[in-house]
Amino acid sequence: MSRQHRAAGGPDTESGPLPVIIAERCVHARVEVAGCRACISACPREAWFLGDDALALDTEACDGCGLCAAVCPESALLHRHEPLRRDWGDSAVALAGCERAAVSDGRGIIPCLHAFGIRDLLLLYRDGVRRFIACRGNCDDCARGRGRRLEAVATQTNVLLTSRGLAPLTYEEESPRQWTKTAASGLPGTPGPSMGRRSFLRRSVKVAVEEGMKMSGLAEAEANQPVPPGKLVGHNAAGHIACHVPRIKPECCTGCDACARLCHHEAITLVTREGEAQYRLEADACTGCGICADVCEHGAVSVGSMEMPAEKAVPLRQAHCAACGAAYHVPYRAGEASQRCPICLRAPHRGMLYQVLP
């Protein structure tokens, strides 16, 4: 990813702040054959473009809507749009309004509600938010509303939560008048928390620390490594739905280990122990970046979304090649009789590997 177009904390647009770019996280900075085009597809102003050398951002075309950050699988792009948060009882509520929704109160107003992705909602959920109240304009007449919308993201988030036995995140939409009233005075008919002096002081310290983290750029709890959505939701149990699911077709796999070596989050790992080997698949560790599928030359690896993981391991047969003697491993395949490694199978030894000339 090109660094020259954007540095963290740089200039803002008329609509809002430009996305913060963490270039080293981008899949295009890791693998030349990366096929991710998420930010390019999501941008309604065609501000992102992929050249021969790098992925770059046209800062003059960008209006800071944050839609690219919502779809980036590696959190290489971060927007600085924060919903308004309020504590109510044992839980919390988040309020966000679209800048085109004719809301009079400026708190919690962001360029586009669809800038919140699944990971954003799960981070809010992890922080105790159980209710999200939105106020939006007419998305059908807005270029920003042509892609994935917040209501669909909220539905997917609740699929993940409920499949693991967790309470859903309530998503609601209010009129500009009601939303402004709610943001100013709280939820109608809902008592605020009773708070003694010590609780008040503890809460004040917590808020001060959180604000300090935001100002210092450390509000992202995973400053060095983004936490995959599955890790945020937790409760990894049988029968749960996963946000992203890595898959390997044994009949196509040659055991080259490229997917395992390049998976930055260990969603695919090679495990060898006590004479046995396998590719271990951890769906909750997957971000959906697609690098594993991009580097597989035989189409053996793919990544599904919003589904139940079918398998957690692919057993590997270990042997020594009858042609070259090298150790290798491949998935078990029915009826397989060959004792040659994948390299020798691709280049059969019909002659000598080398010849000494007189």
* 205: phi then psi, degrees, rounded to nearest 5: -65, -40
CA distances (Å), 6 to each of 17, 19, 214, 250, in order? 11, 8, 19, 43
The string of pLDDT tens digits covering residues 106-144 is 778 999 999 999 999 999 999 999 999 999 989 999 999
The string of pLDDT tens digits covering residues 19-64 is 999 989 999 998 989 999 999 999 999 999 988 777 889 999 999 9
Structure tokens at 278: 């396998």
The string of pLDDT tens digits covering residues 190-223 is 444 444 444 434 444 444 434 433 433 334 444 5
pLDDT at 265: 93
Of the candidates 83, 84, 98, 102, which has an alpha carbon nearest to the alpha carbon of residue 176? 102
pLDDT band at 4, cuts 50/70/90? very low
Distance of alpha carbon 212 from alpha carbon 320, whole angstroms: 58
Looking at per-residue confidence, does 55 or 301 come out higher?
301
Alpha-carbon dihedral angle through residues 185, 189, 195, 199, given to the nearest 10 degrees = -80
Structure tokens at 126: 């992890």
Distance of alpha carbon 95 from alpha carbon 134, whole angstroms: 6
Looking at per-residue confidence, does 324 or 187 come out higher?
324
Percentage of the chain beyond pLDDT 70 is: 78
pLDDT at 157: 96
pLDDT at 222: 46
Distance of alpha carbon 311 from alpha carbon 279, whole angstroms: 11
Distance of alpha carbon 340 from alpha carbon 345, whole angstroms: 6
Structure tokens at 238: 């049988």
Average pLDDT, whole number, for the chain? Answer: 82
Count of Cβ atoms closer than 10 Å to residue 50 Cβ: 16
* 189: phi then psi, degrees, rounded to nearest 5: 75, 5
356 contacts: CB under 8 Å, gap ≥ 6: none
Q: Is 49 helix (H, G, I), strand (E, B) or coil?
A: strand
**Stretch (H or E) spanning 207:** helix 197-215
CA distances (Å), 28 to each of 47, 75, 315, in order? 17, 13, 31
Count of Cβ atoms closer than 10 Å to residue 319 Cβ: 15
Radius of gyration of the chain, Cα coordinates, nearest whole angstrom: 25
Range with lowest mean pLDDT among 92-101, 193-202, 315-324: 193-202
CA 302 to chain CA centroid, Å, is 16
The string of pLDDT tens digits covering residues 333-350 is 766 667 888 888 777 555
**Stretch (H or E) spanning 304:** strand 301-307
